[in-house]
C-alpha cells in the first residue's frame, strides 16, 4: 500500500474545476508537486489533509479517508500556506501545544528535540512575533513534525525565505525523505523542488500532465520546441547557419517593420548552446535573443503532447 493515494480525483468549486481526474500514489521520499499559481496544488494538499472532500474519486492517506477519519492525523504532519503561528506565544509553547493535542507521550522532550532539529533551540523561548519569516516557517515545520509523522505535506514551504534559509530547509526536507517518510512539497519553481525531490508531479490547470524524475521534467519544460526571436546586425546570416546546421526548422523575418528574425527550434537548449559560437563565426552582433509565445497554454499543450507520447 502506498502511504498517499489519489485515484480519479476531481474537485470543483461552483463552476471552477480545481482538479480534474488526478491519480497518483506516493511512497517514501520527497515528491515535488509543481505548478503555476492556481494550478490546483493547494487543493490537492487540502484533499490529502482532509480539509476538504473530493467531488469525485478517492483520497487515501495511510490507508484512511483523511476527511472522514481523524485518526489519520496521528501519522500526518501539515505545513499549510500562510501564517499559522501566534505572535504572542513562544516557539516552545506553540510546538508543545501541538504535541499535547496530538497525544505525544513526553511532549516536553519531543518539543525540545524537534526544535533542535529545525535549528530553533537558541530562540525556543522567544515570542514568535519577533521572528523572521524563515524562523516562523521553522516553527510551522516543528509543529508538523513533533509527533514524528510518517507523511508530511508542505504547501510552498520555501516562499519568502532568503537563499541561506532555503538551502537549510531543502537539506532538512531531503533528510526527512531519506529517513523513509513520505514527503509531498508544492512549489511553482522547478529548480527549488529538483534539489530535494526524487520525483516531480506537474499540475497544469488542474490536470496532472507529467511525472517523473526531475531531470526528465526539466527537459520537458525547458528543452521543448520554441519560437525564438533574434535581433542584431547580420542576423539573417546567423539564422541561415542555424538552418544549415539543423538547429532550427524554419526562419522568417518578423512582420510589421520590426527588425527581428523568428526561428523555430525543435530543441531550445541545443539552440541556446550553439548561438554564441555561431554568432561569433558569422560576425553577428546580437542585441536580443528571446522566446516568443512563452505563455502557459503553449507549455500546457507541449506537456499534454509529451504525456500522450509517453503512453499516458
Ligand atoms: N475554496 C475555493 N473556492 C473557490 N475556488 C477555489 C477555492 N479553492 C481553490 N479555488 C480555485 O481552484 C483553482 C486551484 O486553486 P489552488 O489554490 O489549488 O491552486 P494552487 O496551485 O495552490 O495555486 P497558488 O499557488 O496560487 O495557491 C484556482 O482557480 C482557485 O481559484
Query: Measured from the CB, is residue 38 less than 6 Å from ligand 1?
Result: yes
Query: Measured from the CB, is residue 199 less than 6 Å from ligand 1?
Result: no
Query: Measured from the CB, is residue 48 less than 6 Å from ligand 1?
Result: no
Q: Whose Cα sits closest to atom 30 in ligand 1?
A: 38
pLDDT on residue 259 = 87
Choose one of 10, 22, 41, 49 to mutate for the ligand 1 pocket test, by most ligand atoms within 8 angstroms of C-beta: 41
pLDDT on residue 311 = 38
Query: Measured from the CB, is residue 18 less than 6 Å from ligand 1?
Result: yes
Its ipTM equals: 0.94
pLDDT on residue 307 = 52
Choose one of 10, 12, 14, 18 to mutate for the ligand 1 pocket test, by most ligand atoms within 8 angstroms of C-beta: 18
* Atom of ligand 1 minimally distant from the CA of 52: 1
pLDDT on residue 255 = 84
- Look at residue 309 and tell me whether its pLDDT is greater than 70: no
pLDDT on residue 300 = 58
CA of 286 from ligand 1 middle (Å) equals 42
CA of 38 from ligand 1 middle (Å) equals 5
CA of 6 from ligand 1 middle (Å) equals 18
CA of 42 from ligand 1 middle (Å) equals 7
Write b or e for each residue in 225-237: b if 16 or more Cβ atoms lie within 10 A of its Cβ, otherwise e.
Answer: ebbbbbebeebee
What average pLDDT does the segment 43-62 reach?
A: 96
Q: Whose Cα sits closest to atom 6 in ligand 1?
A: 13
Let me know: does 265 contact 226? Beta carbons within 8 Å.
yes
d(CA 56, CA 118): 38
According to DSSP, the β-strands at 182-187 and 151-154 are: parallel
pLDDT on residue 97 = 93
Q: Whose Cα sits closest to atom 12 in ligand 1?
A: 18
CA of 65 from ligand 1 middle (Å) equals 22
pLDDT on residue 82 = 73
Which is higher by pLDDT, 302 or 167?
Answer: 167
d(CA 130, CA 175): 28
Q: Whose Cα sits closest to atom 14 in ligand 1?
A: 40
pLDDT tens digit sequence for 61-91: 999 999 999 999 999 999 988 766 678 899 9
Query: Measured from the CB, is residue 205 less than 6 Å from ligand 1?
Result: no
* Atom of ligand 1 minimally distant from the CA of 188: 25
* Atom of ligand 1 minimally distant from the CA of 40: 18
Global pTM reads 0.79
Q: Please provide residue 181's backbone torsions phi and psi, each rounded to the nearest 5 degrees.
A: -80, 155
Query: Measured from the CB, is residue 43 less than 6 Å from ligand 1?
Result: yes
* Nine-digit cell string for 7: 485515484
Mean of the per-residue pLDDT values for the chain? Answer: 88
Q: Whose Cα sits closest to atom 11 in ligand 1?
A: 18
Beta strand extents in the chain (DSSP E only): 4-13, 16-26, 29-34, 56-61, 76-79, 151-154, 182-187, 199-204, 207-212, 226-233, 250-253, 261-265, 285-292
Let me know: does 115 contact 121? Beta carbons within 8 Å.
yes
pLDDT tens digit sequence for 94-151: 999 999 998 899 999 999 999 999 999 999 999 999 898 889 989 999 999 999 999 9
Query: Measured from the CB, is residue 60 less than 6 Å from ligand 1?
Result: no
pLDDT tens digit sequence for 163-199: 888 888 899 999 999 999 999 999 988 888 888 999 9
d(CA 136, CA 6): 30
CB atoms within 10 A of CB 94: 21
Amino acid at each position: 500500500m502506498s502511504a498517499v493515494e489519489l485515484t480519479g480525483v476531481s474537485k470543483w468549486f461552483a463552476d471552477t474545476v480545481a482538479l480534474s481526474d488526478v491519480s497518483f500514489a506516493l511512497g517514501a521520499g520527497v515528491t515535488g508537486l509543481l505548478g503555476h499559481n492556481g494550478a490546483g496544488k493547494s487543493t490537492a494538499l487540502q484533499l490529502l489533509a482532509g480539509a476538504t472532500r473530493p467531488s469525485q474519486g478517492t483520497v487515501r492517506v495511510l490507508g484512511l479517508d483523511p476527511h472522514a477519519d481523524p485518526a489519520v492525523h496521528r501519522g500526518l504532519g501539515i505545513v499549510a500556506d500562510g501564517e499559522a503561528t501566534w505572535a504572542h506565544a513562544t516557539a516552545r509553547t506553540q510546538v508543545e501545544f501541538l504535541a499535547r493535542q496530538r497525544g505525544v507521550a513526553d511532549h516536553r522532550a519531543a518539543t525540545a528535540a524537534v526544535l533542535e532539529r529545525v535549528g530553533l533551540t537558541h530562540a525556543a523561548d522567544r515570542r514568535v512575533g519577533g521572528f523572521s519569516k524563515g524562523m516562523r516557517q521553522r516553527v510551522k515545520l516543528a509543529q508538523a513534525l513533533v509527533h514524528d509523522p510518517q507523511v508530511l505535506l508542505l504547501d510552498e514551504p520555501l516562499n519568502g525565505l532568503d537563499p541561506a534559509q532555503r538551502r537549510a530547509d531543502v537539506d532538512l526536507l531531503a533528510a526527512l525523505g531519506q529517513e523513509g517518510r513520505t514527503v509531498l512539497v508544492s512549489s511553482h519553481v522547478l529548480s527549488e523542488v529538483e534539489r530535494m525531490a526524487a520525483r516531480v508531479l506537474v499540475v497544469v490547470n488542474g490536470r496532472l500532465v507529467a511525472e517523473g524524475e526531475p531531470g526528465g521534467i526539466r527537459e520537458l519544460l525547458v528543452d521543448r520546441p520554441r519560437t525564438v526571436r533574434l535581433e542584431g546586425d547580420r542576423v539573417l546570416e546567423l539564422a541561415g547557419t542555424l538552418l544549415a546546421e539543423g538547429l532550427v526548422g524554419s526562419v522568417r523575418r518578423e512582420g510589421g517593420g520590426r527588425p527581428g528574425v523568428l526561428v523555430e527550434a525543435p530543441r531550445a537548449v541545443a539552440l541556446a548552446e550553439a548561438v554564441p559560437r555561431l554568432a561569433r563565426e558569422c560576425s553577428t552582433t546580437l542585441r536580443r535573443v528571446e522566446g516568443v509565445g512563452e505563455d502557459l497554454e503553449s507549455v500546457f499543450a507541449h506537456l499534454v503532447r509529451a504525456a500522450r507520447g509517453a503512453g499516458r
